[in-house]
Amino acid sequence: MNLNDLPTPTLILDRQRVRANTDEMRARIHGHGVALRPHAKTAKSVDVARMAAGDKGNALAVSTLREADYFLSQGFTDLVCAVLLEKDKLDVAATLADRGAELKIITDNPAVAGAISSHAGAHRVLIEIDCGEHRTGVAADSPDLTELAAAVERSGRSRILGVLTHAGHSYATRTPDAVAAVAEAERVAAVTAGHKLRDAGFETPIISVGSTPTATHGVTFDGVTEVRPGVYVFQDMFQAGIGSCSTDALALSVLASVIASHRDRGTVMLDAGGLALSKDRSTAGSKFDAGFGQIADLSGQPFPGLRVNGVHQEHGEVLVEDPELFATLAVGTKVRIFPNHACMTAAAYEVYNVVDGGVEVVDQWMRCNGW
Amino acid sequence: MNLNDLPTPTLILDRQRVRANTDEMRARIHGHGVALRPHAKTAKSVDVARMAAGDKGNALAVSTLREADYFLSQGFTDLVCAVLLEKDKLDVAATLADRGAELKIITDNPAVAGAISSHAGAHRVLIEIDCGEHRTGVAADSPDLTELAAAVERSGRSRILGVLTHAGHSYATRTPDAVAAVAEAERVAAVTAGHKLRDAGFETPIISVGSTPTATHGVTFDGVTEVRPGVYVFQDMFQAGIGSCSTDALALSVLASVIASHRDRGTVMLDAGGLALSKDRSTAGSKFDAGFGQIADLSGQPFPGLRVNGVHQEHGEVLVEDPELFATLAVGTKVRIFPNHACMTAAAYEVYNVVDGGVEVVDQWMRCNGW
């Protein structure tokens, strides 16, 4: 089957590019002498996870317990849930552990730390550290750190295994040097917090950091035990814009058809709108603004400057000035759209149509969506 | 089961409010002596469609052929697909007709009109009219109108049944009078185009208009045969903002848990982020800006001015200044979030947890997602 045969809108994944992205990141992180724990939240696919983890890889990060359940059922047992859980989910976490998952959960507050300790399950716990994003986590120099660790271990069932941090503020950077500075802050926060816990008598086999930009541009990972980038498996227009990759690395696209063309209005309409692309506008206001997605031809070759300018639920509006381009985008033409944010866009689909650098569909891979 | 027992994030639907919204709209449109064709793209649920269509109702609008397939399998046979199709989908449309659907498809361009005529199936076709939004459709006074109709009927198999238009630009209005003016432009465009087709010898039993704002504030529907509002079944913060409803009408919300609370940063973090709420920011820059959603307590009572200020994939960040409110939103607390745009938010879920004005879960209703 060829891309031209697929009903639109649908999701296209270039396996060749996923392989290049995942091989490159694994080589880079292993080159630093550190373990890679790919964050599976972007692809939510066992096929992608296997490529990212490598032949003997068994370690993943996940963003939901549904993902943990799914990847465990596919044989991945070394899992970190990198989003704070509320205490009602401890039962599910314990069930996953009973099924063989070495599941690590995280906490940054006394209420959940206390609930973990009181819970019947024996949980493996990391303390979440704030390394400057100020989203979640406690500061590395906060007295809360050791208090939380003590609260987790109070009943003697659950135990602390280290710390985890995420430099989400790396997304606000625009140069490799700026990313490297954030990466160093991320590393220092995690390592400092780890030392504090060790000094207070806790074991810290896991010092976990990571985001795609900091994993890409970090200079040293001394003292860190694992790195957890996520979106690098697919990359996207935002990551290309901030310098995490070139546009040649973009593995994910949405296949769409031209369903209307109005020369007098200077518009072409695609059958991929807000639901098919997501309403992510993370590139808005930047020099690399891609609207709601960069448009490319069927082979994945971008039309320079051509983007989805507006979306309705099922319509993507494209402003086209050049008459020749207008003729190229006749009604019925199929195009590919590289999204701003791969994690958001992929979530609207259950299946990846896999290509291998070309336009032949060589496989279909499933996703694990929802909560 | 009670809302407090549900794992978060999850989708909550207040059946009592859906009933009030759907009864009110049906009474209003029927009061004008016109048929209501609810647009099923918002709820994508047969349970909601039955409430919207009423006891003997059999007519729906859909935005995808997957919806058409789903609603046909649930007994709805009078269907309008209100989004332009590309010609490769004509086979599917014909299959639906073979299964008993009186499916009406739309066109606004010669390529598809010609393909419809050449296709082996006997299609029922409406010409899409542009009534001022300039998204899709031909102008009511365009010579294209009768040419398209003639092209559709050329082979003698498919036939024209009338016209369809959608005043999406009603979303840019901010007063009932302004909406009423757009509604009148919508009506006049559809009726004018219908007359032109009739004068040219085509049958036009269907003169179809509709959007939630124009269906709500339109003064007259003379000459129109049916109205197709969609989001009114749930309403949302955007519709409340532009005056389509009060916030008491909001039937859809996302149930979320407080997973972190940092008094020093003035932030509370919810486990509903960009995937759970969507990144729709249609209220941005307006007086009724609701961030990524208005926060309410478990019973649905809004906290005035409290909104989701920022989202990450699985985190919703809330800025809280008031110390009392901060204490109310302790870690583990469950809240409800009324979204900006119900169609976008609901699409992330497969199931509605149904309440009936209270906090008891009385039913679960399925959605039909994807393409």
- How far CA A221 is from CA of A59, B258, B333, B336, in Å, comes to 18, 33, 37, 41
Residue A263, chain B, CB below 8 Å: the answer is no
- The per-residue pLDDT for A60 is 98
Q: Which residues pair with B11 in a beta bridge?
A: B254
Nearest to B164 by CA among B191, B146, B141, B184: B191
DSSP letter at B169 equals: G
Mean pLDDT of A133-149: 97
DSSP secondary structure of A158-172: SEEEEEEE--GGGGG
Q: For residue B73, what pLDDT band results from cuts at 50, 70 and 90? A: very high
Pairing assessment for the beta strands A334-338 and A294-296 based on DSSP bridges: antiparallel
DSSP letter at A339 equals: -
Contact A371 B9 (CB under 8 A): yes
Residue A281, chain B, CB below 8 Å: the answer is yes
- For residue A272, what is the nearest residue in chain B, using CA coordinates? B371
- The per-residue pLDDT for B296 is 98
CA dihedral A220, A222, A223, A229 (to 10 degrees): 30
A190: tokens are: 């995690």
- The per-residue pLDDT for B267 is 98
If you average pLDDT over every residue of chain A, what do you get?
97
Pairing assessment for the beta strands B59-62 and B78-81 based on DSSP bridges: parallel
Q: For residue A220, what pLDDT band results from cuts at 50, 70 and 90? A: very high
* N-to-C CA span, chain B: 32
Nearest to B347 among A269, A331, A348 (CB): A348
H or E element, residue B108: none
Q: Which chain A residues are Cβ-neighbours of B312 within 8 angstroms?
A: 135, 168
DSSP secondary structure of B306-349: EEB-EE-SS-EEEE---HHHHHHT-TT-EEEEE-S-HHHHHTT-
Q: Which residues pair with A338 in a beta bridge?
A: A294
User: Omega into A304 within 30° of 0, i.e. cis?
Assistant: no
- Pairs from A324-331 (Cβ < 8 Å, separation ≥ 24): A326/A261, A326/A263, A326/A268, A329/A258, A329/A261, A329/A268, A330/A258, A330/A261, A330/B111, A331/A258, A331/A259, A331/A260, A331/A261, A331/B86, A331/B109, A331/B111, A331/B112
- For residue B136, what is the nearest residue in chain A, using CA coordinates? A260
Gap between the Cα atoms of A346 and A339, Å rounded? 9
Residue A70: count of CB within 10 angstroms of its CB:
21
- The per-residue pLDDT for A173 is 93
Gap between the Cα atoms of B228 and A163, Å rounded? 54
- Residues with Cβ within 8 Å of A73's Cβ and at least 6 positions away in sequence, in order, are none
Interface of A with B in 23-82 (CB under 8 A): 41, 63-64
Contact A314 B83 (CB under 8 A): yes
Residue A9, chain B, CB below 8 Å: the answer is yes
Residue A312, chain B, CB below 8 Å: the answer is yes
Which residue matches tokens 């941005």?
B284
Query: Are B59 and B101 a contacting pair, CB within 8 Å?
Result: no
- For residue B90, what is the nearest residue in chain A, using CA coordinates? A7
- Residues with Cβ within 8 Å of B73's Cβ and at least 6 positions away in sequence, in order, are none
Query: Are B214 and B167 a contacting pair, CB within 8 Å?
Result: yes
Gap between the Cα atoms of A182 and A175, Å rounded? 11
Separation of CA A18 from chain center: 13
Mean pLDDT of A287-301: 97
Instruction: Indicate the residue type of A104.
Output: K
Nearest to A62 by CA among A45, A76, A83, A46: A83
- For residue A259, what is the nearest residue in chain B, using CA coordinates? B86
Gap between the Cα atoms of A349 and A258, Å rounded? 20
Q: Measured over all CA atoms, what is the biggest interatomic distance in chain B, rounded to whole angstroms?
A: 73
- The per-residue pLDDT for B288 is 97
Gap between the Cα atoms of B338 and A219, Å rounded? 44
- The per-residue pLDDT for A43 is 98
- Residues with Cβ within 8 Å of A27's Cβ and at least 6 positions away in sequence, in order, are none
Q: For residue B209, what pLDDT band results from cuts at 50, 70 and 90? A: very high
Q: For residue B171, what pLDDT band results from cuts at 50, 70 and 90? A: very high
Q: Which residues pair with B81 in a beta bridge?
A: B62
How large a percentage of chain A has pLDDT more than 90?
A: 99
Interface mutation target, options B2, B5, B42, B84, chain A, most CBs of A under 10 Å: B84
B302 min Cα distance to partner chain A (Å): 22
Contact B112 A331 (CB under 8 A): yes
Rounded to 10 deg, the angle between the A65-73 and A46-53 helix axes is: 80
Identify how many contiguous H helices and E strands chain B contains and give both numbers: 12, 19
Gap between the Cα atoms of B150 and B197, Å rounded? 10
Contact B134 A267 (CB under 8 A): yes
Q: For residue B32, what pLDDT band results from cuts at 50, 70 and 90? A: very high
- The per-residue pLDDT for A200 is 98
Residue range B280-330, pLDDT digits in tens:
999 999 999 999 999 999 999 999 999 999 999 999 999 999 999 999 999
Pairing assessment for the beta strands B252-262 and B334-338 based on DSSP bridges: antiparallel
Gap between the Cα atoms of B105 and B161, Å rounded? 10
- For residue B256, what is the nearest residue in chain A, using CA coordinates? A86
Give me the half-sphere count of Cα atoms (radius 13 Å) on the Cβ side of residue A180: 6
Q: For residue A244, what pLDDT band results from cuts at 50, 70 and 90? A: very high
B149 φ/ψ angles, rounded to the nearest 5 degrees: -60, -45
- The per-residue pLDDT for A318 is 98
Q: Is the full-model pTM beyond 0.95?
A: yes
B70: tokens are: 């789903």
A206 φ/ψ angles, rounded to the nearest 5 degrees: -120, 115
Residue B230: count of CB within 10 angstroms of its CB:
24
Gap between the Cα atoms of B69 and B79, Å rounded? 10
Interface of B with A in 182-221 (CB under 8 A): none
- The per-residue pLDDT for B316 is 98
Pairing assessment for the beta strands A159-165 and A206-209 based on DSSP bridges: parallel
Residue B84, chain A, CB below 8 Å: the answer is yes
Proportion of chain A in helix, strand, coil states, percent, rounded to 5: 35, 25, 40
Nearest to B206 by CA among B279, B100, B106: B106
